Amino acid sequence: MSKLVKADKSRYVWLYLPSKAAKERWQALADEAKTPLSTFCISIIEEKLAEDEGQKPRRAVIKELESLKGENKALREDLRQKEVVLQRYEAELRRYRAEPFQGAQFAGIRPYSRELVDILKARGHVGSYQILELLGIAPGEAEAIKAVWKQLEELEKFNLIKADGKGWRWIT
């Protein structure tokens, strides 16, 4: 059983509205907000005081928040689309760079992947799967994997790297 708390009369404010219709209008608005009339009045007064003190009214903050949520959603979708396009361009670039290493009878100068050489130099020893991961090559990109493998074999022929059972080691 809950105990009733005796009301503190020093906190009361008596409000005399201009008409019974005005009181009924206020009561209908409070009912619509699903709050008691006194709480409704307090929230309206506090909002006006906050506005006068330079703070944004609650409704404006809520409206701005909804607008920012919508903008955030649109930007996330735009970013997702751009990431998909970027992945496609990167795959196309890998295919283009891999072409010289795919033909057995290639004549001319083959440009080695600077990124591959930098990875090997910086890390010293790198596992085969780790190389593919660092280069951003997916396991399903067979042509790109063959091209990287061919580059590694060519670098080994020039005694720049050495293959061991677990990966590749930069030796110069």
What are 76's two structure tokens?
């996330």
Report whether pLDDT(23) > 90. Answer: yes
CATH for the stretch 109-170:
1.10.10.10
Considering only residues 138 and 32, tell me which one the structure prediction assigns the higher pLDDT: 32
The tens digit of pLDDT for each residue in 49-89 reads 877 777 777 777 889 999 999 999 999 999 999 999 998 89
Strands (E), 33-146: 125-127
Mean pLDDT of 7-30: 89
Determine the pLDDT at residue 44: 87
Mean pLDDT of 93-110: 66
Determine the pLDDT at residue 83: 95
Residue 137, sorted as left (phi over 0), alpha (psi -120 to 50) or beta, turns out to be beta
Report whether pLDDT(2) > 70. Answer: no
* Of residues 108, 107, 95, 88, the one with CA closest to residue 146: 95
Report whether pLDDT(27) > 90. Answer: yes
Mean pLDDT of 135-157: 84
Residue 110 near residue 154 (C-beta atoms within 8 A): yes
What's the CA gap between 101 and 87, in Å, rounded?
22
DSSP readout, 62-91? HHHHHHHHHHHHHHHHHHHHHHHHHHHHHH
Strands (E), the chain: 125-127, 161-164, 167-170
What's the CA gap between 68 and 161, in Å, rounded?
53
Report whether pLDDT(106) > 70. Answer: no
Determine the pLDDT at residue 78: 96
